[in-house]
Structure 1
């Protein structure tokens, strides 16, 4: 069979020779085939770029390999690019994910991570398998490629050699790991007899929406309110309501801010609850028969537009310092950063690339656009200096030995952990020091995909020589079962506690489960089942901390047990 493949590929040295052309050719074919296969659904699930690993293993099995030193360099460089781009993406939301309900969700995710580590160690003690193999199985079972890279790097630093067992364990456990996450979600739904209608209702009640929100139009007739601002009126009556628009007798329409004054004769669009509707109407004046369509026609005087911050001098400034409301008569309703919507309070620090949703008159918005920049050309210019300075600092940090009592070898964050920590810190705190860390979503994704593609291709090409023999003849098929246990057991334990004790909504629980396994296919399944964005919110809340813990625990297992 091997001879057949040799002859199939022209019988020349292009695939089995040496040099740059040989290496580029092998990598290009492995990555191209892997990406193409990753688009195919198996049982409704795509394995994505992980196919690159399997293609690399196949090529290596038939003798198509790279130079050992080049293979090592490309693998480590790809890993650095991958984890650094991940840090840039999750950094802005990393610390905010611990606020409010995020603490509980992150504790659940941490429990899943730690249970997986404990189960891995127990299986290691029972079976006597090398810890390198078990860490590889763990990384595959939880579908975490950065953990695989961190483990390989830690082992290489400690021993001076690479361990193919880590990659083989990962490759064997990964496919069933993806499926196991989804099966765990289905099992939790079955044992608790979960009905989606009840989940929708329970979530509404929990969010304070047990009483339906309604929009009412009211004419101001209470003389006591004449000249008072929206903020003053809200202090006078302790009820849930928001004044959205104010229509003046002369036909002008304003977006209501906290300092917007009301006068007798003004018409206000108010959002409140059904319980408070009558009281608020009586307090303000008289209810009007103005429907939503009429307000929307009046809103033609106003427009909503997303404006991007592209002026570097605004990087790190507080949104309140811009005085957009008082100076230009516009309201900022949302700030989108790295795909996450943030509340635009006056203490929010702006960053290059933030997208501000601004509502106001066209002339005012055009003026604000000039102030903020809104130049895609400026954003399309890559900020290479912060990227490579960050990588430099990350490699330095990853090389610093940290001694822990009871551990014979010093712990290092390595080429996976160091750049990840630095990129999170730079993307979060860089604007405080006027450091522009912005990269477009497309640029970040390209950097990340190139990095993971190089890493997986090199891992596969380095591990494939003994893969088939190990799986078929050395009881490697048992690894599949071990991986399935590591995948499912922590999810079921934490899922049952979260549902029975903490009463976590099922949609949120699905998102946390997918995030704790850093598994996009499981998130896609959850979103399809839920039909709303609650799984995505849970996923985004726990993803940053989980990614950090996966990388750290994989290294600690190698360093502490080896």
Structure 2
């Protein structure tokens, strides 16, 4: 019995209760939390946040860690979490600010701004400390990095942790998850959505998806001005990004791969890949749209997705590979971080890109050898960029910046610094031959370990006063504050997105889910439709929203604490 008591409550003669005690408590909190994460009520789960609640239970019964060790593990877990998020979203972060993405990001910024304003109003009207309100804000929008940023900012400002931040987060989080989904359902009825019409438009890539997706289209050439011209001479006339993949000549039955020297004639049929926003102009220029089953017409040509795994290709432009000239194959599109890009000649490749290549079996095999397509090579982790980036992130996060009106210099902290560095490294690293790619499984493992450690430590630290705060100190009122912060910004932004920005409903709910960085909201949105509009909207606004949530949480603490 004494052995069990020491393991759970700590060995009194050892610092922090001993290594065995600390590892046991952390392991049990995380294990039980992940088990409970699999439980769903009406198809909705609180997910990995159950670790926080299990930690609170352990902390309430005095099964916790030394406060200095708890602080270190919490910050280290947060760094791993935000850095891995930055590596994932970095490649698509800046491309999300194109015309279509800019509108979606403006709407997401509105959600963030409204949440911050409501938090400030509730702080002054109710007298609730800003530390508690920021915790409620982070819980209401289910944003764990914001919680970490707020705790770290308060620690820098006052030299101690503020358990009320975690208490506010824990109280508001459950209804934050449910409230977001209920808001999306309410908007469907408020806006009187015709789901069939909305889904048909989303499937065709209309609206703000036009610059964020890629699709193929078959055309018959009717423009006499094109007759007898080479593709390389036609491209400057269009001033659009497109790839002509295959040609079926009017005077023959063979389907051929197109290249820059391919000559086009009247009534030839071509397969073009481009963004939906350019499809209409391209169709008008070339002729008319037709239905073609290219795979059935010529079975000698195959289409295959190949993974870029050779380090020497990192940062190279597509035109430098000379795939068409050397092998007689054609790259038609590039998939990066789940988003398809037009295979324009000036597009820079990155390790981990998946290129769609079309050609004969032999040509595709030769191209495959050049590009790599070796999962074994990618499975080998590139640890230098990870630890070098974390080191740079800590330096940036610890550097003070002075802003007018804020008495204390602002630091990006151990949430903001590593996040910004990881975004910059993953986006611009390939241009300087720095391999920043990590497989999705490796990235997910790093991220899940980080967030698990962070949530376990936050729960253990907040457990001692949780019950007293909620029952006796009016903590139950915080639930109401959280509901207001969750629902009001989403409903307002939903109306603005529909009536001002004219967004498709499925794109809109994806954007609103992304503006709260809420995975259950994305899962719910994806279940409503077979199109990828919610996922595209979510992925487009997620990087900027994550950055703003981290930054605003710190600014609120530093400006008002």
Normalising by structure 2, we get a TM-score of: 0.89
Q: Distance in 2 between matches of 1:278 and 1:450?
A: 53
Task: Name the structure 2 match of 1:268.
Answer: 269
Cα distance 1:239–1:541, how it changes in 2: closer, same or farther (>3 A)? closer
Counterpart secondary structure, 1:75: helix
Please name the residue that 2:320 is paired with.
321
8 Å contact kept, 2:226–2:286: no
- Give the Å deviation of 1:262: 4.0
Question: Which deviates more, 252-261 or 442-451?
Answer: 252-261
Q: Map residues 63-462 of structure 1 onto 2, 5 A cutoff.
A: 63-203=62-202, 204=204, 206=207, 215=218, 227-230=228-231, 245-247=246-248, 252-262=254-264, 268-269=269-270, 280=287, 292=292, 295-462=294-461
- The number of residue pairs the alignment matches comes to 542
The more displaced of 337-346 and 44-53 is: 337-346
Contact 2:247 2:271 survives alignment (8 Å): no
Give the Å deviation of 1:360. 0.8
Select the residue among 15, 25, 42 that pairs with 2:8. Answer: 15
Aligned partners of 1:241 and 1:270 also within 8 Å: no
1:377–1:391 CA distance, 2 compared to 1 (3 A) = same
Q: CA deviation at 1:11?
A: 4.9
Q: Is the 2:254–2:298 Cα contact (8 Å) retained in structure 1?
A: no
Deviation of the 1:351 alpha carbon: 1.1
Distance 1:15 1:31 in 2: 15
- 1:39-67 CA deviation, whole Å, 9 max, x = no partner? 11122211110000000001111111011
Q: For the residues of structure 2 that align with 1:201 and 1:119, how far apart are their CA atoms? A: 36
Residue equivalent to 1:28: 27
Question: Structure 1 residues 279, 343: closer, same or farther in 2, change over 3 A?
Answer: closer
In structure 1, stretches of 5+ residues that fail to align are: 1-6
- Larger CA deviation: 384-393 vs 360-369: 360-369
Corresponding residue for 1:3? none
Q: Shift of residue 234 of structure 1?
A: 7.9
Q: Per the alignment, in what secondary structure is the counterpart of residue 46 of structure 1?
A: coil
Q: Which has the larger radius of gyration?
A: 1
1:253 Cα deviation after fit:
3.0
CA 1:263–1:121 in structure 2 vs 1: closer, same or farther (change >3 Å)?
closer
The answer to which of 68-77 and 421-430 deviates more is: 68-77
Distance 1:30 1:279, change over 3 A: closer
Match of 1:4 in 2: none
Query: Which residue in 2 is equivalent to 1:51?
Result: 50
Q: Deviations over 1:84-119 (max 9, x none)?
A: 000000100111101011111111110110110010
Task: State the distance in 2 between where 1:426 and 1:214 align.
Answer: 35
RMSD across aligned positions (CA): 3.1
* Structure 2 counterpart SS, 1:199: helix
The alpha-carbon deviation at position 364 of structure 1 amounts to: 1.3
Q: Secondary structure, in 3 states, of the residue corresponding to 2:47?
A: coil
Q: Matches of 2:297 and 2:412 in 1, distance apart? A: 58
Distance 2:418 2:245 in 1: 45
| Distance in structure 2 (CA, Å) of the matches to 1:119 and 1:525 | 26
SS in 1 for 2:263: coil
Post-superposition shift, 1:250?
7.7
**Larger displacement relative to structure 2 (525-534 or 407-416):** 525-534
Q: Are 2:522 and 2:534, in contact at CA under 8 Å, matched by a contact in 1?
A: yes
Q: Counterpart of 2:355 in 1: which secondary structure?
A: strand
- Where does structure 2 lack aligned partners over 5 or more consecutive residues? 11-16, 211-215, 273-278
Are residues 233 and 11 of structure 1, via their aligned partners in 2, closer, same or farther at CA, if it must alter by over 3 Å? closer
Q: Alpha-carbon deviation of 1:326?
A: 2.4
Q: Secondary structure at the match of 1:42?
A: coil
**8 Å CA contact 1:217, 1:270 repeated in 2:** no
Q: Deviations over 1:322-361 (max 9, x none)?
A: 1212222211122122222222211111111111111111
Question: Is the contact between residue 245 and residue 330 of structure 2 (CA under 8 Å) also seen in structure 1?
Answer: no
Residue 372 of structure 1: how far off its partner (Å)? 1.5
Name 2:523's counterpart in structure 1.
524
In the alignment, the residues of structure 1 paired with residue 91 and residue 509 of structure 2 have an alpha-carbon distance, to the nearest angstrom, of 23
Residues 240 and 276, structure 1, Cα contact 8 Å, conserved in 2: no
Distance 2:517 2:232 in 1: 43
The alpha carbon displacement at 1:444 in A equals: 0.4
Question: 1:242, 1:368 → 2: CA distance?
Answer: 18
